[in-house]
């Protein structure tokens, strides 16, 4: 472990404080009387000692800090400062609004009224369930989630194979680049499809939620770990743009599902669809489906 000293700016800092803010190795500054430890009168900047074991200590108050607890407090504080929700006039604005809330967004092919209700659901979720809402990474059209994820994973496997030692040895033997690419294409496509096939949009799926976290040992796999991390960047809730390209079509589909008793009365709206998908996120985060009392209910 390599202990660090972390100095953070608080509020509208002076130029001196801004200059000394940052992270430094404890061993390099502990005996130097370095300015990183100092604070002028009325200074609110924090200076923390991080030994590298998951806890930190405030240098001036000597109070130990739990980073996980501190992070949750910061999330709640940030969410409490959200401005009143504003309706977007265009899909571009809807994407930008979601991104301001901290999400990667692509509502391509979605009716603007549907996108606004989805964003409003996110806005309320950030206030009411911040710890769950922060787990969401992507919102928008299910088709865009699939295509963006597939493109990124395919680019990863292309780089993995074409920049690997075996490919380099082929080049050293004088094998042409197009022949090398042809040699690896089948493997690149196989692994790309293997990691994205569950996200291909089914015709009868109106919306979807995904929030599975892979075990750390899988993320550390030298070949597939990066593909797993890419996939987790698309955690979130999305709409099928074959239904939600029209607010009226989405509503009519909701009515059919209520009539068929797939959903309870009054759950035919876009908002109800959002609530249903967000409930899956809550379930995954809190492991509600594993609670024996809930199972009885």
The confidence score (pLDDT) of residue 76 equals 57
Answer whether residue 87 shows pLDDT above 90.
Answer: yes
Residue 223 binned pLDDT confidence (cut-offs 50, 70, 90) = very high
Half-sphere exposure of 55 (CA within 13 A, CB side): 7
Angle at 138 between CA 132 and CA 144, to 5 degrees: 150
User: Given 3-state DSSP classes, what are the helix, strand and coil percentages for the chain, each rounded to the nearest 5?
Assistant: 55, 10, 35
Answer whether residue 73 shows pLDDT above 60.
Answer: no
Contacts of 233 (CB under 8 A, 6+ apart): 104, 137, 138, 149, 152
- pLDDT tens, residue by residue, 231-285: 999 999 999 999 999 999 999 988 888 888 877 787 789 999 999 999 999 988 8
**Rounded to the nearest 10 degrees, how much is the dihedral formed by the CA atoms of 292, 293, 296, 297?**
-140
Of 78 and 48, which is predicted with more confidence? Answer: 48
Mean pLDDT in residue range 65-82:
60
The confidence score (pLDDT) of residue 72 equals 58
- Positive or negative: CA dihedral 34, 35, 39, 40: positive
In terms of average pLDDT, the best of 107-111, 286-290, 292-296 is 107-111
The confidence score (pLDDT) of residue 8 equals 85
Spans of all domains in the chain? 4-65, 83-296
The confidence score (pLDDT) of residue 120 equals 96
Of 144 and 67, which is predicted with more confidence? Answer: 144
Q: Which of 21-35, 91-105, 162-176 has the lowest mean pLDDT?
A: 21-35
């Amino acid at each position: 472990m390599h202990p660090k000293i972390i100095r953070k700016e608080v509020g509208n800092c002076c130029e001196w404080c801004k200059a000394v803010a940052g992270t430094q190795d404890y061993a390099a500054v502990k005996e130097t009387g370095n300015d990183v430890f100092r604070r002028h009168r009325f200074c609110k900047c924090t200076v923390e000692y991080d030994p590298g074991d998951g806890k930190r200590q405030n240098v001036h108050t000597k109070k130990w800090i739990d980073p996980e607890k501190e992070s949750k407090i910061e999330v709640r504080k940030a969410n409490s400062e959200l401005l009143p929700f504003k309706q977007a006039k265009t899909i571009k604005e809807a994407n930008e609004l979601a991104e301001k809330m901290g999400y990667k967004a692509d509502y391509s092919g979605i009716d603007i009224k549907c996108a606004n209700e989805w964003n409003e659901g996110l806005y309320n979720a950030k206030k009411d369930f911040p710890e769950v809402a922060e787990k969401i990474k992507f919102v928008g059209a299910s088709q865009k989630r699939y295509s963006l994820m597939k493109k990124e994973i395919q680019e990863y496997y292309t780089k993995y194979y074409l920049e690997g030692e075996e490919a380099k040895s082929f080049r050293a033997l004088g094998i042409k680049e197009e022949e090398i690419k042809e040699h690896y294409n089948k493997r690149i496509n196989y692994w790309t499809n293997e990691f994205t096939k569950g996200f291909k949009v089914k015709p009868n799926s109106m919306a979807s939620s995904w929030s599975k976290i892979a075990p750390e040992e899988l993320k550390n796999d030298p070949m597939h770990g990066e593909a797993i991390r890419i996939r987790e960047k698309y955690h979130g809730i999305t709409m099928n743009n074959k239904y939600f390209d029209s607010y009226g079509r989405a509503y009519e589909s909701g009515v059919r599902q209520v009539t068929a008793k797939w959903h309870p009365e009054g759950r035919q709206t876009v908002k109800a669809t959002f609530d249903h998908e967000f409930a899956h996120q809550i379930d995954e985060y809190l492991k509600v489906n594993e609670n024996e009392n809930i199972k009885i209910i």
